[in-house]
Amino acid sequence: MDKFGFAQSQKFDTYASRLLPREEYFTSGHRSCQGCGEALAVRWVCKAIGKDAIIAHATGCMEIVSSGMPQTSWMHPWIHVAFENTAAVAAGIETGLKILARKGKIPEPLPAVVAMGGDGGTSDIGLQALSGALERGHNFTYICWDNEAYMNTGIQRSSSTPYGAMTTTSPPGKRSIGQATWKKNMVAIAVAHGIPYVATASPSYVFDLYFKVRKAIETPGPAYIHVLSVCPTGWRSATDLSVRLGRLAVETGVFPLYEVVNGRYRLTVQPPKLRPVIDYLKPQGRFRHLRKPELDLIQRQTLAAYELLLAKCQAPYPEFPVLTHEEEETIPEGA
Amino acid sequence: MSAHPAKAQRVGMEVSIAVSHAVQMARAEAIAAYPITPQTHIVEHLSTLVANGELEAEFINVESEHSALSACIGMSAAGARTYTATSAQGLALMHEILFIASGMRFPIVMTVANRALSAPLSIWNDHSDIMAARDIGWIQVFVENGQEAYDHTIMAFKIAEHPEVLLPTIVNLDGFILSHVVEALEFISQEDVDAFLPPYQPKYRLDPKKPVTMGAFAMPEIYTEVKYAHQVALTNSYHHILKVWDEWANLTGRRYRPVETYLTEDAKVLFLTMGSLTEVAEVAVEEMRAQGLPVGLVSLRLWRPFPFDALREAVKDAELLIVCDRALSAGGPGGPVHSEVRNCLYPLESKPATVNYIIGLGGRDVPPEAFHDILARAQKEVESGPSGEFFLYGVRG
């Protein structure tokens, strides 16, 4: 695996797709929707984690599309237990392997342990188990497939659904603009656990995704990767636009690609100039009902969050970013 | 404390500590637990044994019981011999995962220190926690005293891990009433335990060299068949349980049966109890016999798989069977044990009448006198014709 390991990522610029592994660990023939960004991400993540790995998966789209008994799309040893506990299951696997190796029952090096779950299984119902596993410092990598709603059960809002988005449980109406709250910052929550590696990634930036996963796997201790997974069904977008939408999310600053290594922030993909957010929102039917005031609000909020991220990237103490003069003025009195 | 107590020497010890020594002697490799009263002494002592290197195991202090059992599934799937303990609300929080552990056939061993469920909050003993988890597909045993708690904890690993069984197993012991009592106990040597219980050889485990998919979803075409296979495995585990108990009897001289009987010969009236209540009932029955009353005692040790034939055999000649439940099936036909017992006896042509008394809820003390009182009330009840009712014994006001 060293051939494709993190060390190689230093030669990032010279990379081409033919230099990445050809082995497929997530096989075709699964039942995902057309244009599923998550299936694309899973395929590349599985290549990146390599053969010697065990995967624990939460209930969700990917579990359902890939594991209908008696078939399976997983070439890795794979286990699904329930919706909210995949981090606890992975913690158990890692612990089990550790004691078996110590007793000489299985050879070292131990396989990598990877936990995967959707945004609901990660930022809502599975947050407790994930927080527990991160806090205890298990050596595993958690990957969140964020398609911004409960897509397995239809299209119901989660705490990861962005502001203004239409879902079947956050419908726009006379008294509603759709999702009324802002997307939960799951990455910040992971960072707050003080774990050695946290990153965002997107299958629209395959090399970036690939090497972040390698880095996470090779980092001892817990690692967390948040992958934006475009969902044409739930986002009401054209199925051939998934990779494009993933890029637009980055180019507009809605989903910046960065990593936090031992608390230090770094943008890994830096668009020279941000595009207006409307370029990203317009191709998606779930934002169709929004009018100018809400669009402006989303634009302002996106820029504010992006600037805060840039400040964290530049700050010697990222938790205390250097604020600009303008931002200081906006802090209310008595705060 | 030494690595483990010496062989065949009677030592005074708290039952919870004895259970953790049984887990130690069974050489459990992976433990995940969350503190809950009255189970805490078991896992506290286990964590000390692990910390001192007296038990070569990994111990995860998880953030909830839900994660405790989830981590146990992970550890068992990785191929480790796995143990946990819980109680009441903790068992209830595990509820979803209890079914998954048995459905996926992981031989996890768990001690449940039985306790009442909220509300109102009660940390004291009854069986409402485990009776609410009656249908989880685990093997379930009830123990009467500390010696049995020690014995059955070691045996549970052997039963659960048998390749034809592969089912998680619960050893039920009454919280506080049993878990916190200091008793004289007899241990067997580590060599004997090692010979009795060889290391766990998982049939399937998560191994990149031989990848398998565990926990796949099932369409309606296959779900029923998987459930049927589980049912067959649980029913057939009965013979393996008897075999393991026989082996234990040869090793220690202590013989266990799915349905225990005490002074049942020529008994016209039988009490049926479970767990530590049995010892109190024994005292009461002895007193009644001394008064010349034809009374006997039946104790249900094996709760799952339910010992239908053994129970029918044990009670068939009696006229009246008084089932003592320690849980209430609210709005239902009485206590859960009585429901099952009546169901078991229904097909018989000649069977005893049954009366159901629900006693000792939420830690209410049950002295031997209670059984005298219950006998008098039950007989009066039967004389006035079978009512089919159940009685919540000892309600004031």
pLDDT tens-place string over residues B7-56: 567 999 999 999 999 999 999 999 999 999 999 999 999 999 999 999 99
pLDDT for res A15: 61
Record: contact A90-B74, CB cut-off 8 A: yes
Confidence of residue A331 (pLDDT cuts 50, 70, 90): very low
pLDDT for res A315: 85
Confidence of residue B384 (pLDDT cuts 50, 70, 90): confident
Residue range B216-229: mean pLDDT, rounded: 96
Alpha-carbon gap, residue B300 to B361, rounded angstroms: 18
Average per-residue pLDDT for chain B: 95
B347 touches chain A (CB under 8 A): no
pLDDT for res B2: 43
A106 touches chain B (CB under 8 A): yes
Q: Is the pLDDT of residue B219 over 60?
A: yes
Which of A79, A102, A106 is closest, CB to CB, to B215?
A79
* Mutation site for A-interface testing, chosen from B27, B34, B59, B60 by largest number of A Cβ within 10 Å: B60
**Cβ–Cβ < 8 Å for A280, A249:** yes
Residue range A150-172: mean pLDDT, rounded: 97
Residue range B170-186: mean pLDDT, rounded: 97
pLDDT for res B180: 98
Record: contact A76-B207, CB cut-off 8 A: no
B79: left (phi over 0), alpha (psi -120 to 50) or beta: left
Record: contact A56-B74, CB cut-off 8 A: yes
Selected residues 142-201 of chain B with any CB under 8 Å from a CB in chain A: 199
A203 to chain B nearest CA, in Å? 25
pLDDT digits (tens, 9 = 90+) for B92-142: 999 999 999 999 999 999 999 999 999 999 999 999 999 999 999 999 999
- Range with the lowest mean pLDDT among A153-157, A251-255, B291-295, B391-395? B391-395
Record: contact A99-B214, CB cut-off 8 A: no
pLDDT for res B253: 95
pLDDT digits (tens, 9 = 90+) for A234-256: 999 999 999 999 999 999 999 99
A8 contacts: CB under 8 Å, gap ≥ 6: A15, A211
pLDDT for res A317: 81
Residue range A296-302: mean pLDDT, rounded: 97
Alpha-carbon gap, residue A273 to B62, rounded angstroms: 45
Q: What is the DSSP string of B56-74?
A: --EEEE-SSHHHHHHHHHH
Q: What percent of chain B has pLDDT over 70?
A: 97
* Mutation site for B-interface testing, chosen from A26, A30, A31, A97 by largest number of B Cβ within 10 Å: A97
> Around Cβ B56, how many Cβ atoms within 10 Å?
14
B78 contacts: CB under 8 Å, gap ≥ 6: A54, A92, A93, A95, A96, A97, A100, B30, B205, B206
Confidence of residue A1 (pLDDT cuts 50, 70, 90): very low
Q: Is the pLDDT of residue B160 over 70?
A: yes
Record: contact A81-B104, CB cut-off 8 A: yes
Record: contact B60-A105, CB cut-off 8 A: no
Q: Is the pLDDT of residue A192 over 80?
A: yes
Can you say how many angstroms the Cα of residue A239 is from the centroid of all Cα atoms in its chain?
20
pLDDT digits (tens, 9 = 90+) for B251-301: 999 999 999 999 999 999 999 999 999 999 999 999 999 999 999 999 999
Record: contact A95-B30, CB cut-off 8 A: yes
Alpha-carbon gap, residue B290 to A154, rounded angstroms: 70
Q: Comparing A51 with A16, which gets the higher pLDDT?
A: A51
Q: What is the DSSP string of B297-348?
A: EEEE-EEES--HHHHHHHHTT-SEEEEEESS-BTTTTB-HHHHHHHHHHTT-
pLDDT for res A6: 53
pLDDT for res A335: 40
**Cβ–Cβ < 8 Å for B284, B368:** yes
**SS3 call for A74:** strand
Closest residue of chain A to B217, computed from CA coordinates: A68
Helices B40-51 and B15-25, packing angle to 10 deg: 40
Confidence of residue B3 (pLDDT cuts 50, 70, 90): very low
Which of A52, A91, A128 is closest, CB to CB, to B60?
A91
Alpha-carbon gap, residue A37 to A30, rounded angstroms: 14
* Mutation site for A-interface testing, chosen from B47, B61, B63, B221 by largest number of A Cβ within 10 Å: B63
Q: Is the pLDDT of residue A323 over 70?
A: no
Residue range B213-230: mean pLDDT, rounded: 97
pLDDT for res A185: 97
DSSP state of A324: P
Record: contact A88-B70, CB cut-off 8 A: yes
Cis peptide before A70 (omega within 30 of 0): yes
**Cβ–Cβ < 8 Å for A252, A277:** yes
**SS3 call for B384:** coil
Selected residues 125-184 of chain A with any CB under 8 Å from a CB in chain B: 128-129, 131-133, 135-136
Record: contact A92-B213, CB cut-off 8 A: no
Residue range B84-98: mean pLDDT, rounded: 98
Contacts of B33 in chain A (CB under 8 A): none
**SS3 call for A263:** coil
B46 touches chain A (CB under 8 A): no
Residue range A93-118: mean pLDDT, rounded: 98
B210 to chain A nearest CA, in Å? 7
Residue range A302-314: mean pLDDT, rounded: 94
What are the residues facing A322 on neighbouring strands? none
Task: Give the A:B interface size as CB pairs under 8 Å.
Answer: 166
ipTM computed for the complex: 0.96
A55 to chain B nearest CA, in Å? 9
Confidence of residue A2 (pLDDT cuts 50, 70, 90): very low
Confidence of residue B383 (pLDDT cuts 50, 70, 90): confident
What Cα–Cα distance (Å) separates residue B130 from each residue in A286, B172, B304? Answer: 47, 8, 11
pLDDT for res A11: 52
Helices A206-218 and A37-49, packing angle to 10 deg: 50
pLDDT for res B312: 98
Q: What percent of chain A has pLDDT over 90?
A: 87
Record: contact B64-A132, CB cut-off 8 A: yes
